[in-house]
Structure 1
Amino acid sequence: MVTLLRGADICAPERLGKQDILIEGQQITFIGDLPAEAIHGLPNAAVIDAEGLTAIPGFIDPHVHIAGGGGEGGYANRTPEILVSDIVRSGVTTVIGCLGTDGVTRSHADLLAKARGLEAEGISTYIYTGSYQVPARTLTGAVVDDVVLIDKVIGVGEVAISDRRSFQPTVEALAELVSQAHVGGLLSGKAGITHFHVGPYSTRLAPLHRLLDEYPIAPQAIYATHITRSPELLADAVDLAAKGATVDMTASSATTDSLRDYIRLGGDLSRLTLSSDANGSLPEFDSDGRLIGMEVAKQTTLYEQVWACADIPGLDLSQAISLVTSNTADALGLGHKGRLRPGADADILLTDDQHTIALAFAQGREIVRNGEPQIRGTFE
């Protein structure tokens, strides 16, 4: 299949102005002004007038409970699996699946099967091995083996620290875990990242600072999420990012305020990403640790908050888009994702002035038109 997008205003995420994008098969093969004679040489191409639309890379969501999550309130609180239509209507073309609190009744076999199912339905997927628990539960028996031998495993996570639901690992145990993932990444050409769930406890990111200060750990091997729980945690995340780690905000109604604070504190925007935590539970606990409320995180929140961030005075659209595209691709070692350029996967969103997705492509396949998903799950 050959598709030509004519005259879109491209944010790749850097601003490129109005240009054409040529898609051949699953990849972008050309960006620029395509001469008329060249267009005539593409007799079977689908030519789409993209004048008045903004072209941006498809979003990469680095933290999604694709097979469901939760369970903190008992068996009836297990959240459901995500639907591919919910993913794509939110502009997401690549997801990284994780388990979370429950690594007992939720298995990595389920997670891997769900990832393969979503990919068959039309998007790109990867997963983390492990869960909150340390030592990590895995598919093969070892984190390093999972990263090396299983194509979709790009690291380990989400490993819980500073939280009552954590297994309270020592820094030495975390160093071993991060090192296994890192070496697995070296051997397989993957990121080998360790994705950390950070809870509200007063130790905040102290275990991760100790990893970098006391062990020969590569900073880019560490990826901490949920950093907006408190002003103190956010400031701690700014310091961690300054050391070369990547930090992640979970999209919420407070994201714009958190991003302003991150910038005010001198946070490195190139080391920051946004995620949805979609289909994970959002439990509320009282001061004694008793569960008093539960909600389910939504994929759509991510899309809404990206555009809200783009409206922050002094923040360029390119910077806001980078938080869910190029920054995430760099952190996860996905060189073929997160940017509009020749050779990259044709994951493209075309949006109008109201931020509605007029068209979206995942690896060259149309997945959204006029805000409505064009692909659905098998049982939707």
Structure 2
Amino acid sequence: MSLQLQVQGQILTPQGWVYGTLAFDERIQSIAADMSAVDAGSAAYILPGFVDLHVHGAGGKDTMEAGDAVRIIARKHARHGTTSMLATTMTAPLADLELALQGIKPEVDKRSSGGARILGVHLEGPYINPGKLGAQPAFAHTGSLEQVRHLDAIAPIRLITVAPEMDGHLQLVRELTAIGMQVQIGHTLGTYEEGKAALENGATGFTHLYNAMSRLDHRAPGMVGAALAHAQFSEIIPDLLHVHPGAIKAAMRAIPHLYCVTDSTAASGMPDGQYMLGRQVVHKCLGGVRLEDGTLAGSTLTMDQALRNLVSIGLDLEDASKRVSTYAADYLGLNERGRLQAGSYADLVVLDRQLNLIAVYVEGEKIDLTDA
């Protein structure tokens, strides 16, 4: 039995805010309200740990590398409050994807000391539209259930991005849904009608809403229109570079469970300079990451900054917290993560009143924040 720990402050529970004490070991044991006359207005905030379903890298490492890359990425993001994440691949030749997944596999479902829990893989491509690559390399092709099964046997794929307008991909969406995979629509030139059809055939979300998809026009709503009209879940990158705050707010009014991802790259947590994103060279400068032609290529965002960005554009802290933890956990059916309640994993962050991290716990393990 591990030693029981305690933190005290303003605790965000599924029922709302409670000032009191949260006791935990690997899991949360209890949340006890304190009705004494303590000044709760100056207390630290205690929130669910952040859940990031779209992570390419950090700390100079990329998920497409072999070796210890994913472990380093998980440690870097944990120092910014991410307690669980999906290692996200790039569009690449099959041999490169196999190598990447072989590197991810040892970290999946292993309690890695000092890092975020790796929940599995987000396969972002290669089943995307070659006409809407964004920052993806030009290795897109039509997909097959057989190939996805082959990759899933190497490391578990929890989420997969597909362009549904590609030949045979509507059937692929149905097949992937039937075997229990979450399918997102992304890197797509599809029409509103094709997006709606994909949702009706089992797709459940959208990859980095607005980015790398056909735009909304009042006579041609495009894939953005399909998301705003019909989606229950969708990713969005709230670095305030990829999407204007007004567009973020519009999406929040339309999509009930819009959740945040970092789409972070190897440049996250690193100085300006040149880095790799899969097989492509990217450049970090002025807070962004871009290809040589200026195309945005992922981000340098961390989830603690995502939370602060949401609050800065007008969200209250409870709403912002759900969008960086609870909704993403719900999307993957992770009922024991993304919420602070007895029995859930002790994945939590402690923040001061300016929303700076004081402490991070991953399944009860305190993370060393000195290398943030």
TM-score, normalised to structure 1, is 0.70
Report the CA distance shift for 1:115/1:318 in structure 2 as closer, same or farther (over 3 A): farther
1:152 aligns with 2:156: yes
Length, aligned pairs only? 318
Q: Which amino acid aligns with 2:207?
A: T
Alignment of 1:191-340 (within 5 A): 192-198=181-187, 201=189, 203=190, 206-212=193-199, 216-218=200-202, 221-229=203-211, 232-233=215-216, 237=224, 239-254=226-241, 257-258=244-245, 260-264=246-250, 267-279=253-265, 281=277, 292-293=293-294, 297-298=298-299, 300-313=301-314, 315-340=315-340
Alignment of 1:175-186 (within 5 A): 175-185=170-180
User: Structure 1 residue runs of 4+, over 6 Å off?
Assistant: none
Aligned-partner SS, 2:184? strand
Q: Deviations over 1:269-289 (max 9, x none)?
A: 5321111112274979xxxxx
Instruction: Identify the residue that residue 164 of structure 1 maps to in structure 2.
Output: none
Report the CA distance shift for 1:103/1:333 in structure 2 as closer, same or farther (over 3 A): farther
Cα separation, 2, equivalents of 1:123 and 1:266: 27
Report the CA distance shift for 1:255/1:90 in structure 2 as closer, same or farther (over 3 A): farther
Cα separation, 2, equivalents of 1:69 and 1:292: 23
Cα separation, 1, equivalents of 2:30 and 2:210: 39
CA contact (8 A) 2:264 2:300 kept: yes
CA RMSD of aligned residues (A): 3.8
Cα separation, 1, equivalents of 2:50 and 2:251: 26
Cα separation, 2, equivalents of 1:94 and 1:311: 24
Instruction: Identify the residue that residue 17 of structure 2 maps to in structure 1.
Output: 16
Q: Deviations over 1:225-244 (max 9, x none)?
A: 22233894497546425424
Q: Which amino acid aligns with 2:62?
A: G
Instruction: Identify the residue that residue 188 of structure 1 maps to in structure 2.
Output: none
Cα separation, 2, equivalents of 1:55 and 1:255: 29
Aligned-partner SS, 2:171? helix
Q: Which amino acid aligns with 2:264?
A: A
Aligned-partner SS, 1:55? strand
Q: Which amino acid aligns with 1:312?
A: I
CA contact (8 A) 1:198 1:224 kept: no
Cα separation, 2, equivalents of 1:217 and 1:294: 32
TM-score, normalised to structure 2, is 0.71
1:124 aligns with 2:131: no
CA contact (8 A) 1:238 1:265 kept: no
1:58 aligns with 2:49: yes
CA offset at residue 355 of structure 1?
Answer: 2.1
Cα separation, 2, equivalents of 1:238 and 1:30: 44
CA offset at residue 291 of structure 1?
Answer: 5.6
Cα separation, 1, equivalents of 2:105 and 2:300: 16
CA offset at residue 132 of structure 1?
Answer: 2.1
- What 5-or-longer segments of structure 1 have no aligned partner? 36-50, 72-79, 162-167, 186-191, 285-289, 375-380
Report the CA distance shift for 1:317/1:64 in structure 2 as closer, same or farther (over 3 A): same
CA offset at residue 316 of structure 1?
Answer: 1.7
Instruction: Identify the residue that residue 143 of structure 2 maps to in structure 1.
Output: 136
CA offset at residue 193 of structure 1?
Answer: 0.4
Identity of aligned residues (%): 18
Report the CA distance shift for 1:342/1:17 in structure 2 as closer, same or farther (over 3 A): same
Aligned-partner SS, 1:372? helix
Cα separation, 2, equivalents of 1:14 and 1:150: 40
Report the CA distance shift for 1:305/1:34 in structure 2 as closer, same or farther (over 3 A): closer
Instruction: Identify the residue that residue 165 of structure 1 maps to in structure 2.
Output: none
Cα separation, 2, equivalents of 1:14 and 1:316: 16
Instruction: Identify the residue that residue 91 of structure 2 maps to in structure 1.
Output: 101
Q: Which amino acid aligns with 1:211?
A: A
Q: Which amino acid aligns with 1:128?
A: H
Report the CA distance shift for 1:302/1:207 in structure 2 as closer, same or farther (over 3 A): farther
Instruction: Identify the residue that residue 365 of structure 2 maps to in structure 1.
Output: 365
- What 5-or-longer segments of structure 2 have no aligned partner? 36-41, 128-140, 267-276, 284-290
